[in-house]
Amino acid sequence: MSSPISFKKFELPPLPYKVDGLEPYISKDIVDVHYNGHHKGYVNGANQFMERFTKVIKGELQSGQYDVQGLMRGIVFNVNGHKLHALYWDNMAPAGKGGGQPGGALADLIVEQYGSYDRFKQVFIETANSLPGTGWTVLYYDTENGNLEIMTFENHFMNHIAELPILLILDEFEHAYYLQYKNKRADYVNNWWNVVNWDYAEKKLQKFLK
Is 29 annotated in a binding site? The answer is no
Beta bridge partners of 154: 135
Is 156 annotated in a binding site? The answer is no
Contact 167, 139 (CB under 8 A): yes
Structure confidence by residue, pLDDT tens digits, 148-174: 999 998 887 777 788 899 999 999 999
Flag whether pLDDT at 2 surpasses 70.
Answer: no
pLDDT at position 196: 98
Tell me phi and psi for residue 68, to 5 degrees. -65, -35
What domains does the chain contain, in order, with CATH numbers?
Answer: 28-91 (1.10.287.990), 104-206 (3.55.40.20)
Structure confidence by residue, pLDDT tens digits, 9-57: 999 999 999 999 999 999 999 999 999 999 999 999 999 999 999 999 9
Residues 6+ apart with CB under 8 A from 180: 26, 27, 29, 30, 188
Is 171 annotated in a binding site? The answer is yes
Is 175 annotated in a binding site? The answer is yes
